[in-house]
Copies of this chain bind each other. A is one copy, B any other.
Amino acid sequence: MKPIKISEAVVRRLPIYLRFLNELSLSNIQTVSSQDLGEKLDLNPAQIRKDLAYFGEFGRKGVGYNVDYLIEKIRQILKLDKTMNVVLVGTGNLGRALCNYSMYIKDNMKIVAVFDADPSKSGTLLNHLVVQPMQELADSVRQLDISVGIITVPASEAQKVADEFVAAGIRGILNFAPVVLKTSPGVRIHNADFTAELLSLAYYMDHHEALNEGDGER
């Protein structure tokens, strides 16, 4: 099957749908309308219907979407129906927070190894994982079939870690360091950028009145 090409904006909304649908499923709610989804997620219901129509029709007029079917479908589209192993480098406060945080994610993306450049951290325990020295990175990536790397080191160290990830065969990077990383062909980098989120918030606070009728994306 040829993969459908979906816009970035839609791909970024799918995990948000997924989270809310998971909440509904846990509460044994079996159907949901685009209206309910829109209200809860602060999105236009027409936008939601359009997003979901990308993947074939599975809403029924007057009934809504079947929650579990939609969950299954979105997971398939996001390729979350198979497990993806994740490595994290940088065991400061942020790295530690993420290791705990990762337990919220259903099993499909899982931090299975943690590394730190500081030799004094090696051998310590972090959420049941033993912190390893950087020299062991490539071996662990191969042995554990790791495809995604998370960077939680200071900005000055981030490019070095990214290069080591790429050399080890990692194809997806989630970068938390406040720096623009040089990308390599075939490697996808997402920036989880606190400051950008914070700074763009400022814009809306002053303009908010003018934007209430707007197209709030998140």
Contacts and interface: CB of A to CB of B under 8 A. Distances in A.
Interface of A: 2-3, 5-9, 11-12, 14-16, 18-20, 23, 40-42, 77-80, 84, 86, 92-94, 96-98, 100-101, 104-105, 108-109, 147-148, 150, 155, 171-172, 174, 178-180, 183, 185-186, 188-212, 214-218
A153 to B, nearest CB: 12
A60 B189 CA distance: 31
Contacts of A180: 16, 19-20, 23, 40-41
A192 B192 contact: yes
22 contacts: A3-B206, A5-B211, A8-B216, A8-B217, A12-B200, A15-B193, A15-B196, A15-B200, A16-B180, A19-B196, A78-B199, A78-B203, A93-B93, A93-B94, A94-B94, A98-B194, A101-B194, A172-B204, A174-B194, A185-B212, A186-B212, A192-B197
A25 to B, nearest CB: 14
A188 B174 contact: no
A201 B5 contact: no
Question: Quick one: copies of this chain in the complex?
Answer: 2
A148 B23 CA distance: 28
A200 B14 CA distance: 8
A93 B104 contact: no
